[in-house]
Structure 1
Amino acid sequence: MTTDDASGLTDEFLAAREEELAGRVSPRRLEHIRGVAATAARLARAYGVDERKAYAAGLLHDWDKGYDDEGIRQRARDLGLEERLGPWLVEHMPQVLHAYTAAEALGRAFPEIPADVLRAIDRHTVAAEDMGPLDMVLYVADALEPGRRFGRIDELRAAEGEVGLEELFFLTYEYWVYLLLERRRLMHPDTIRIWNTYVARRASRKGSDRDRS
């Protein structure tokens, strides 16, 4: 059974998981993971989110990134996720599966990991309509960690602390949607629905701000 209590995320627990990661992913991926963990902790401090949970989510988010496409498909099937995700997604979008498999596998193996940390890991590739603060912190950190060098990343980094967390998440999500379109990549079936939710929420918030002025 998972919990929301972060007391199990001890320094020893996190160090042990980092040591395991060194045997699960490439050195380059491990460098990215460490960058995401540090960036998530920094964002958490800036936006009033639990820093230890954010660091843990960043450290564990790519737990299953070492699998190749067929390997991650089979991992999803072995964990019983094909019914939840659907066979089309498993077959055609293996690049997003590691988020779901990592959250599921980590939750089974380590019940001390808080439920909201697992949820943030689960959502870090596709996002969701009801992203919480920790979800947003991890999603943004995955884009803004120091190893990312392409596109508008510096522009997004400049927005950190200058806009609210949901706005920073929206700008980051917008950027990834743009990249998918530009590169003519497949989109998750939920992407447009998530996009519409946040566009409508943003417009409503701006409308409320105008009404108060």
Structure 2
Amino acid sequence: MRRIEKKSDSLIVQENLSYREGNGKQIAKLLRAEQNSICAYTEEYLGRADKADVEHFNPTLKNTDQDGYQNWFLVKAQWNTEKGHTARWLKYQPILHPTSEDLQERIVYSNGQYILSNEDDIEAKNLRSYLKLDDEQLDKARIYYIQRLKDDLALSGLTGQEFIDWRLASPVYKSTIYYIRAVEEELNVKVNFDLLEHT
């Protein structure tokens, strides 16, 4: 998982959309665009056939006046289900927020896994457990994906940045770039989603 950056000019905020007032589908559509069809938690690609949910990070805020854009993330439905509801939320307090500026310093990516930079960091530990960022199957999927990407890069004759830019700019390959934090850290590149605007 990487730190999730919320947009100051989000249409969700500009249009004052409310989940409670039945704007869920529009919110999901706009979050999908903002997140470049990437699940906020697993960083897997959200294809047309993937069921995705507007996830309320703090479930106790759902359907209250305090619920809003900073609490909403588009995620794979299975991850939303496994995350659970209020009882599980209360079990993992205090917790680091997915938008926290220092998230990537406190939860470090290393060889396909997310580890704590400080084992005594309860907020970071709770976030990792709450969102199942230490899920073994997801770790393996990420490791295998990065290996395939490295194999393709080796065959391409391109630099890492050229290879990622080319894939992102290609209508054929743009959906093959996900696990963004792993890609950036393993290949020492920047995943520039602005390239998608030109395809």
> Which TM-score applies when normalising by structure 2?
0.26
> Larger helix proportion, structure 1 or 2?
1
More strand by share: 2
TM-score, with length taken from structure 1:
0.25
Considering Cα pairs closer than 8 Å and 6+ residues apart, tell me whether 1 or 2 has the greater RCO. Answer: 1
